[in-house]
Structure formats: C-alpha cells, structure tokens
A and B are shown apart, each in its own frame.
Chain A
Amino acid sequence: MKILVCISNVPDTTSKISFTENDTQFNKAGIQFIIGPYDDYALARAVELRDQHSGHVTVLNVGTAETEPQIRKALAIGADEAVRIDAEPTDSLFVAEQIAAYASDKSFDLILMGRETTDYNSGVVHGLVGEILGVPSFSPVMQLTLAGQEATLMKEIEGGKEYIQAPLPLVLGCQEPIAEWKIPNMRGIMAARTKPLHVIAPVGDTATTTLKYQLPPEKGACKMIPAEEAETLITLLRTEAKVL
C-alpha cells in the first residue's frame, strides 16, 4: 500500500495577516507557520492506514527551504519519506502539476491531501491532480476505509453526507473527522531527523500572477443593546440593517 500525502505550509490560523513591499508580498515577520490543518487530517489517516494495511507513506510539499520544519514534522508524525519540490506554490494548477509529475511513475494507491489550504481556500488541487493523472478524485472526504483495493468513503454534501464505494487508485481531499490530528512524540521527532527528504526541481510554468494584496475595510463599532430591551434588536435588524 503506497500512499502519497501532499501537505501545505501555511500561517497558523490565529495569525494576523499583513503585506509588505507596497502590498505585493505576504509579510512573514512574526508569523508561525504550520502544516495546513486539513492536510494534518490527511496525514493522520494515511499513517493509520499504513499501520493497518502495511505499506509506505511519502509526504510531499511544494515550497522553498523554509518549509522543511513542517516537512520534518510530518515525518515525525509518521511519514516514511519526504519530497520537497523546490518552488513557491504560486497557484493551484502549478502545484497540481508538480504533484502529478512526481506521482506519475510511482503507482500510488492513494494520494491524500486536505480539502483546501487555509491560505487560498481554493479546494481544487485534488481534482486537478486526479484529472492530470487520469485517476478519480473525491472531496471533501470525512471517512475512509479500505478493503483490499476497494475504498469506502463518506463524502460531505450540502446538508448531509454520502457513502461512496470506489476502487483504488484515488485522489482524495480530506477533512474532519477522517482521523484525529496526530501529535509527534519524542521518538517520532528523533526518527524524523534521519528519514529521507529529497529536494527536486519543479516543472512547467505558473498560470497566474498575483499583482497586489489588500486588507478588508475596517469594521465599525458594535452597537450594544441592553438585555432588557433585546426585542429592539429585531426591529433594528429590519429597519436599520435591513436584513430581515
């Protein structure tokens, strides 16, 4: 059982977002970077499946050298080896092409990643990779079990869920509660130091260019309503806010 887990390197979810160089660059000063939270779910499930069905987990990231601490963390969580495609993850198609180029000759049974990254929220890399490789893709997947080469997934749909059966290989975008996030232990951290981390060159071109960033307009003050007059809120929502 060969599993590829694709992880992103993103600012932690409590980060204050700001820009520099005349709003053309993301301001990394003081930002704590983490493995994308949805990718953490994918990684945790991959490690569980590998332990259950015996196999190999490769973790892949498209990023520059600064992402290596997160890649080592993924190895500490339990991946067997890692690959870093040495490029900025500029857009979804570019990232998908890197993953597909790496995976094309390796016959992975499963390619897992988060349903989306928390920086760009695109949620399309899994579909792009699936199409480029000619492999079926599903997202967002909340549950995944395997019986031989047959997968049973629970996919989230609007207002509910759907159970799907499909043969491997598959590309899946993962979310909770597919697995519990794993926290690396001391042994994992030690082992991660000597697990292989290959760095390879990117292929192809980017499909988009970011020209400029902007922050949203400042929010006005909150209008407080005394609890004894709570019902006036409903009137205000109708007459003032015009949302009722």
Chain B
Amino acid sequence: MSVLIFVEVAEGQIKKSSWEAISYGAQVAEKIGGKATALVVGPAEASALEQAGALGAHQVWHASQSELAQPMSLPYSQVVLEAVKKTGAEVVVAAKSSLADATLARVAGALKAGIVGNVTSLPDLTQGFTVTRSIFTGKAFAEVKITSAVKVITLKKNTVEPVLGTNSAVIERFEVVLSPESQVGKITETVKATGTVSLPEADIVVSGGRGMKGPDQWQPLLDLADALGAATACSKPVSDADWRPHHEHVGQTGVKVAPNLYIACGISGAIQHLAGVNSSKVLVVINKDPEAPFFKAADYGIVGDVFDILPKLTAAAKSL
C-alpha cells in the first residue's frame, strides 16, 4: 500500500499547507507499511524538491512541463492520476484548497474513490480506514470510514506539524502525455494582487467590518497588517459594498481562514462570519459595542474605538 501526495507550489516554493500534506502522507505511509511519493506539480526550485524529501517523502516526482505552469485542475488531475497508477497508491493526500479539491475530485471520479475533505486526523486502521473530518464549517466533526479501494483525502490546515528531517529522497522528473480534453479552457487574463500575503495561507490576518466606517478609512488597519506581516480580510457587508476586494471576504460564503491569529476590527461577529474564522488558533476582537456577539467567540477583546486602538497596536507591534 503506498501513498501519493499532491504537492502545490507558489513562486517555485512548496506551499506551507503542502508541507503539512507531505508530513501527513509520510506518516500515513509509515502506518500502512508503504512508501510515500511527493508529486510536485508546477515550476519548483531544486531546494524545494529537496525539502519534500526532508519532510518525509521517500521519493519526489516533479511534473514541470510547460502546460502545467499555470495551475488548472484538468491537466493537473491527469498528472496525478498517472502518478497514482504508476505508484499503485491506495491513499492520495493533498492540503485542502480550491485547486486540490478540483484536481483530486477528478482523480477520485476516475478511480471511483471515496473522497473526504477537511480531514483533521491520521487514519485509524483498527476499523477499516477511518478519519476524522471537520464539518458544518468548523462547527462539528465526523468520524468517517472510507470503504472504497482507493482513499482520497484533503487535509485541514494545522492537522500535523511538519518536521524537516535529514533524509534525502530520490528526485525524478515526471512527464505525462496530456490529452487534448485536459487542455480545454484557455486562461485569457490573470488578475492578482501583488505583494500581499495570501489569505488562505496566512499565519496572521487583520480583518475589518462595517465598524471601519468606510473604504477610505482602512489605512490604520493596513498599517497594523503591515507591522505584523499579516494578510488583510473583511466581512461580507464590507465586500458587498465594494469597500474591499471580493477575495478578502471571510465567512460562510467567502474564504475560510485558519491562521494562528485573527484580529477582527469593527466586526460584530454574525454566525456567517464566525464560520469563516472558527479555525483560527487565537481570535482577537476590537469593537466599540461591548454586546457584540463576536466577544463570545474571542480569546482576547478590547472594547473601544478602532481608530484609537489600531494605531496603539501598530506602534507596539513595530517595537516588538
């Protein structure tokens, strides 16, 4: 029984969430007495490929043909499927993301495999192959037994602590003849906010709600985010009003974040917003309304005017 890990890259480096996937996959391989192959798809530096070995993969396959330069689930799923067939893998693992979901969904469809997302535990092999997963947008967990021959899993963030060891794995190039069907869909334009921290991967997030009063009042929040090296986010009403870009919207129908620290400025804490932030390790709420429901979910709270408080926090952060 072997494990195949689908590894995502960004700017030639392995994404932090994929570090966790490699670590997880290596631990699963150890449990089932098999080997773990890290399949890195997209352009990656040699040092990144070596890291995959150091994180526990027994072998590293790098799929870097030009058609894979821009992440698209159709060709990516073909590459993963070929790798599954070549390794005979019975467990396929990736960190949960829109790309991993779209890619592994097609892999699971081709293999008629049970696919379980947001997994938060290593598999329990004492009763078949059972994993714990987060459900209801973080409000509950389920223990799920996967009964198909191949098991496909996407991992929730912060499920394993990746450790860089000293082993080095064999690194090989992996090339696939891509079918014409896999190349349907032409990217005509990519619009990316540059120089900002990616929200789903961010360790620290500073988020603003209607309490920030307006789109031209965001500077104090941006200053704090800058001082902390944080990504910026917002609530749904703020995104709907076009005060902030849509990709900053955190909530039930927006981005789900899982940072170590989430600082909410002028957000009341409706359940829909909570659904997007309940995986945060530490939640800080700043609101002038002491009755704001968000305080019930918070670890730390400050009642007061965000425009008084944010500059104080920024100054303190800078002198850390």
Given the complex, which residues of A lie within 8 Å of B171, measured CB to CB? none
Q: Does B122 contact A (CB under 8 A)?
A: no
The answer on a CB contact under 8 Å between B147 and A209 is: yes
Listed stretches A1-9, A67-75, A153-161, A192-200; interface member: A153-161
Q: Interface centre among A125, A126, A159, by most B CB within 10 Å?
A: A159
CA distance A92 to B320 in the complex (A): 47
* Contact in complex: B190, A13 (CB < 8 Å): no
Residues of A within 8 A of B260 (CB): 243
Cβ-defined partner of A131 (8 Å) among B105, B132, B200, B201: B105
B108 with A208: CB separation less than 8 A: no
Residue-wise, chain A 129-173 has the 8 Å CB interface mask toward B (1 for contact) of: 111101011111010000000001000111111111111000001
A137 and B73 contacting across the interface, CB-CB below 8 Å: yes
User: Is A187 part of the binding interface, using a Cβ–Cβ cutoff of 8 Å?
Assistant: no
As a 0/1 sequence over residues 117 to 131 of chain B, the CB contacts with chain A under 8 angstroms (1 = contact) are 110000000010010
Any chain A CB within 8 A of the CB of B177? Answer: no
Interface of B is mostly: mixed
User: Among the listed B10, B192, B281, which residue makes an inter-chain contact with A243, where contact means beta carbons less than 8 Å apart?
Assistant: B281
Known contacts A96-B109, A208-B144; is-contact A223 B102 (Cβ 8 Å): no
Stretch at the interface among A48-56, A81-89, A102-110, A116-124: A116-124
Give CA–CA (A139, B201) in the complex, Å: 19
Counting chain B CB atoms within 10 Å of each CB, the highest count among A17, A120, A130, A173 belongs to A120
A92 CB to closest chain B CB (Å) equals 6
**B146 to chain A: which residues have CB within 8 Å?**
207-208
Instruction: List residues of A (196-244) whose CB comes within 8 Å of B's CBs.
Output: 206-216, 219-220, 222-227, 230-231, 233-238, 241, 243-244
Contact size class for B? 35 or more
| Chain A residue, CB-CB nearest to B303 | A227
Closest to A175 in B: B253
**Closest residue to A12 on the B side, CB-wise?**
B271
Which of chain A's residues have a CB closer than 8 A to the CB of B216? none
Q: Name which of B256, B272, B297, B299 has the most chain A CB atoms within 10 A of its CB.
A: B299
Interface of A: prevailing SS: mixed
Q: Are A123 and B117 in contact (CB under 8 A)?
A: yes
Q: Is there contact, CB below 8 Å, between A244 and B228? A: yes
> Are A215 and B140 touching (Cβ within 8 A)?
yes
CB-CB nearest in chain A for B73:
A127
Q: Are B110 and A227 in contact (CB under 8 A)?
A: no
Partner of B102, one of A38, A139, A161, A162: A139
Determine if A222 and B187 form an interchain contact, defined as CB atoms under 8 angstroms apart: no
Please give, as numbers and ranges, the residues of chain B lying within 8 Å of A158 by CB-CB distance.
Answer: 10, 97-98, 198-201
Q: Is the CB of A211 within 8 A of B139?
A: no
CB nearest neighbor in B for A204: B112
Can you offer 30 A-B residue contacts whose CB atoms are under 8 A? A13-B272, A14-B271, A91-B115, A93-B113, A130-B109, A131-B107, A131-B109, A132-B109, A137-B73, A138-B185, A152-B188, A159-B199, A160-B190, A160-B247, A175-B253, A176-B253, A207-B113, A207-B148, A208-B147, A211-B127, A214-B141, A222-B285, A222-B296, A222-B298, A225-B301, A227-B302, A231-B316, A234-B313, A241-B282, A243-B203
Which 9 residue pairs are nearest across A and B when measured between Cβ atoms? A127-B105, A131-B109, A227-B304, A207-B114, A160-B192, A124-B105, A231-B316, A234-B316, A131-B106
A residues adjacent to B (C-beta < 8 A): 11, 13-14, 17, 19, 37-38, 91-93, 96, 115-116, 118-132, 134, 136-140, 142, 152, 156-167, 173, 175-177, 206-216, 219-220, 222-227, 230-231, 233-238, 241, 243-244
